[in-house]
Structure formats: structure tokens, C-alpha cells
A and B are shown apart, each in its own frame.
Chain A
Amino acid sequence: MDLERPYRLEALWRLHATARFSCGDGDIDSYLRDDALQQMEHGLARTFVEIEAAEPDTTKIAGFFTLRAHSLRIQADYFDYLDDEPEESVIELPIIELMYLARDSRLKGRGMGPTLMIECIRIVDEIADRAGIIGVHLRTTRQGERLYLDFDCKPFTWHPHHDRARYVLPIRDVRVIAASARMINEGNTHN
């Protein structure tokens, strides 16, 4: 089945044509072009690109997403039963951060956004097999917000710096979406 897929997901490397990627947001294009590979090399984040399956690595990138380990930090004094803790004391929880997710402008309206999101969820599901995480922390621009709402992601009101640009996908939902995607990839129709 994988051989017939029109796209393949690869970890970013130097032969990928990042300079030709354009999603319509200069900051995101710039991240992929100038920073993503360096962040990979320093272990700060992992970027995955979607490439047309029949094309070489040097072909134009259809879309990408970037993940990194993250920590949700809540001031200890939020909890009544920790009121004897020092002011700087925090409660930390492990979470994955989706830093970027974008598709090339030429693929607008072709289902690449949802495809990238589900591929991202599949990667997070694999991470959750190996390390404890409570979910995915999703950062977004106003333009990207619609995709997260289409996935019924919830505003991350628990985040200490909560604003409209932060959403969360609990690990339980990551598991069920990834399981459904696996069925699709194994050739079971979802309808």
C-alpha cells in the first residue's frame, strides 16, 4: 500500500528543496529555509516534509511540520495544597509541541493540511509509545487556526501564557486518531 501513496514523509535533510517552499507566510517559509535544518542538527526540533512519492528528494516540498519536546509549567501556588512551596516552584508536565505545520500554496484546497496533521499525529503516537506525554501543544497563526478547529482541538486554557494561538490535543485523542489513520494505511476503508 505504501508504494502506491502519492506522498512520502521524510525527515528534513539538506537535499530537500526548502528554498522553493512557499506557504504564504514569510516567517514560516523563512523557518523552513533558514532554521529548520540547523535546529535538527542541534537536537532542538525535528522537521518532517511531505514529498511527492514519484519525485526525487530535490523536488518541491508539498508541506512540512516541526515537533519538539516541551514542558507545561504551572506555578505550584496555583494549588491550595502546595501553598507552602517557594514562589518560584513549578509543576511540570511533559508534552509535545507542534511548532509549525504548513503546506505549499500550490496545494491549497487539496487536503494537504489535514494530511500533514494526521501524519504529525502518527509521529506523536509513536513518541508516546516510548516516552510519557500528556498530549500535543499546538501553536498557530490566525490562518492556521481553522485546521486545528477542524480537528476539534481545544483552546489550551491551562497554558500559563494562554492566548488564542494555543491549542491542545490530549494524548487519548492522539491515540484514537492515529489508530484510525493506521487502518486507512493498511488498506481498510474508513467509510
Chain B
Amino acid sequence: MSMSREEIYDKVSEILVEALGVDDDEISEGATLMGDLGAESIDFLDIVFQLEKSFGIKIPREELFPAENLQNNPDLVSDGKLTEVGVAQLKSSMPHVDFTEFEKDPDLNKIPDLFQVKSIINYIEGKVNS
């Protein structure tokens, strides 16, 4: 099944409106899930469930939002920031995410900002059109 980016955007937007209780005009490709749309950790699972159902795909848990396991590894994190190796690892595990801004200052506290609406759309695009 092949889908256009607009079709994917519309469905993802519908899911986010439902899961996060936001208005659809708050949603844009660049909106961050936690910062702009107020998502909490349990919402991420909810969103994964809805995406799986809506697009008829299986999403391995660590694939879409894999950043959680990094923090305790001293090779990857030093002084509250990701090391070069850490950034490289995160990038390779999240090819659907835009790292341009994050790379300038890879502060751990900024990881939540990596999850934007477009990350989800990129991920789904890769899944349904592969």
C-alpha cells in the first residue's frame, strides 16, 4: 500500500488530536510532541497503538522512540550531554528524526524536542512505502 505524505499527515494529525486532546490547528510538521503538544510518556504508547491500528503496521517498541535507553551509558552521555558516539548512535537508531538543531547542543534535556510530528510522518512513510 503506497500513501502520499498528505494522506499520512492527515491520519497522524487525527491520531494526535484524539490522543493528546489538542486542536488540529496546533499540529504542524515541526511541532514537538512533548513541548508543543503536551504529550506525556504514557501518551507515546497510546500513539503507537493508534498508529499500528490506523496504518495496519507493527511498530517495534524501541524503533519509533528509542532514546530512553541511552542515559545510563557513560560512553554515550557525559556531563548531561550526548557524546559524539552517543549522537551517532541515536541518529542511526532514529533515521526518521531531524537532528540538525540538536547536534549544535546535544543536551539530554533536549531529547524530547527531537520528537516532532514530522518524525512520526517520516517513520510511517518509511514503513508503508517500503
Query: Do chains A and B interact in one complex?
Result: no
